[in-house]
Structure 1
Amino acid sequence: MRFLKISIHCLKGALMACLLQPALASAEFATGPVVENFGAVADVVQSVPLTGKERFKVVFDAAEQGEEGKRNRKFESLARFLNMQARAGVKPEQIELALVVHGGAGFDVVNSAAFQKKFQRDNPNAELLAALQKHKVRVILCGQSAAFNGIENDDLLPGVEMALSAMTAHALLQQQGYTLNPW
C-alpha cells in the first residue's frame, strides 16, 4: 500500500506540472511595431508603467564584432529599444538613438564590397542598419578603430558617420543630452 501512496503522490505532482505548464511558458516575442523583422520583444505587465510622454535620447556602444554569419546583437538592441518603447506607448518621434561602433564591430558597418573582400560573404548587418536609419538612428564609427582595422570612409555602409574616435563621439553625444545604455 505504501508503494501505491508514493505512486499517487508522484502522479499528483506530474499532473500539477502539466497543468501549470502554460503559466510557466516563456513570453511570446515578436518584432515591430516600429522596426519590422528585427528587435523582437515581449509585452510586459509593468509595475513602473510609461506615460507615453517620455522623451529618450540614448546612445548604445558596440565594440565586439557579431558572430560569424549573424547580425550583431548590440545592433539588434536598438531595434528592440524602439519596438519596446512603442509597444509601451512612447511615440517613435520621441526617441532619438545613436550607435557608437568601435573595435572589431567596425567591420559590421562596412558595405558589401568591403565585407565580401574581408570575409567572403554578405554583411548580415546591412539590412538591420538600413532599417534603423529609416528611424533616424545615427550610426557612428570610431575613426581610430577604422584606421587600425584599415577601414576607409568609402568602405562604409550608406549613412554611417566617421568620428575622430569613439571617445569623442560619446563625449559629443553626452553634450547633446544622450544617455549611455550599458547594454
Structure 2
Amino acid sequence: MIRFKTCVAVIFVLAMPALAGPDAFKPGAVVPDYGSYAPVPGTKLPAETRFKVAFDVAEAGPEDDINRKLVSAARFLNMHEAAGVPVENISLAVVVHGGAWKDLLTNKARGSTNPNATLIAELVAAGTRIELCGQTAAMRDVVKEDLLPGVTIGLSAMTAHALLQQEGYTLNPF
C-alpha cells in the first residue's frame, strides 16, 4: 500500500508542470496582444512544417468584448511560430458569416467601439485573410466601406470554404 501511495505521489508531482493553469499562458510574437498560449515542453515542430488553415466564425462576440473565435486564429499563429514553424509557413483564413458580421465593422458602421478592431488589424498584419460572406453582407446592407481595413467580401461563406479547400486549406473545428 505504501508503494502504491508513493507511486501516485510521484506521478502527481511529475504531472504538476503540465497542470500549471492560467499562469502557463504567455503572449506570442506574431499577434502579441491576443492569442496567449501555453508552451508544451517537447513539442517542437520541424521548421519545414506548413499550415493552411481556415477558421469559420458564425457567432458574434459579446457586444463589449472580443470574439473568442477570432482569438483562436491569433493563438494558432502564436503557438505554432513559438513551436518552430516560420510564420511565412503559416497561412490562415477566417471566413465570417451569420451573427459575427458585426465584429468586422468599423466603429462608425457599428455605431459603437468595435472591441475586435485591434485584433483584426494584428491578424491582417500577420497575413491572415479575413472574408465576410457576401450573402450575410447583402442581408445586412454591409458595403466594403463599412468593414475594417483588410477585410474583404466574397460571394458566400460556402464559396469561400470551397475555394479555400481547393487551395489546400483545412477547416479548423475550434
TM-score between the two structures when normalised by the length of structure 1: 0.82
Q: How many correspondences in the alignment?
A: 160
| Residue number in structure 2 paired with 1:99 | 94
Does the CA-based 8 Å contact 2:44-2:84 persist in structure 1? Answer: no
Does the CA-based 8 Å contact 2:107-2:114 persist in structure 1? Answer: yes
Tell me which stretches of 4 or more aligned residues in structure 1 moved more than 4 Å.
none
Deviations 1:34-70 (A, max 9, x none): 1111100000024x65222100011100000001211
| Residue number in structure 1 paired with 2:113 | 122
| Residue number in structure 2 paired with 1:50 | 45
Does the CA-based 8 Å contact 2:35-2:73 persist in structure 1? Answer: yes
Alpha-carbon distance in 2 for matches of 1:71, 1:107? 11
Q: Give the gaps of 5 or more residues in structure 1.
A: 1-15
| Residue number in structure 1 paired with 2:26 | 30
Q: Give the gaps of 5 or more residues in structure 2.
A: 1-8
| Residue number in structure 1 paired with 2:123 | 132
Is 1:160 equivalent to 2:161 in the alignment? Answer: no
Is 1:181 equivalent to 2:169 in the alignment? Answer: no
Alpha-carbon distance in 2 for matches of 1:50, 1:36? 21
Of all paired residues, the percent bearing the same amino acid is: 52
| Residue number in structure 2 paired with 1:65 | 60
Q: Which amino acid aligns with 2:167?
A: Q
Deviations 1:62-92 (A, max 9, x none): 0000012110001011110000101100010
Alpha-carbon distance in 2 for matches of 1:28, 1:115? 35
Q: Which amino acid aligns with 1:39?
A: G
Is 1:40 equivalent to 2:36 in the alignment? Answer: yes
Q: Which amino acid aligns with 2:33?
A: N
| Higher Cα Rg, which structure | 1
Deviations 1:83-133 (A, max 9, x none): 0101100010110100000001011001110012xxxx2000010000011
Compared with structure 1, are the counterparts of its residues 87 and 166 closer, same or farther at alpha carbon in structure 2 (3 Å cutoff)?
same
| Aligned-pair CA distance for 1:152 | 1.8
| Aligned-pair CA distance for 1:150 | 2.3
Q: Equivalent residue of 1:58, what SS?
A: strand
| Residue number in structure 2 paired with 1:81 | 76
Q: Which amino acid aligns with 1:86?
A: E
Deviates more, 1:66-75 or 1:48-57: 48-57
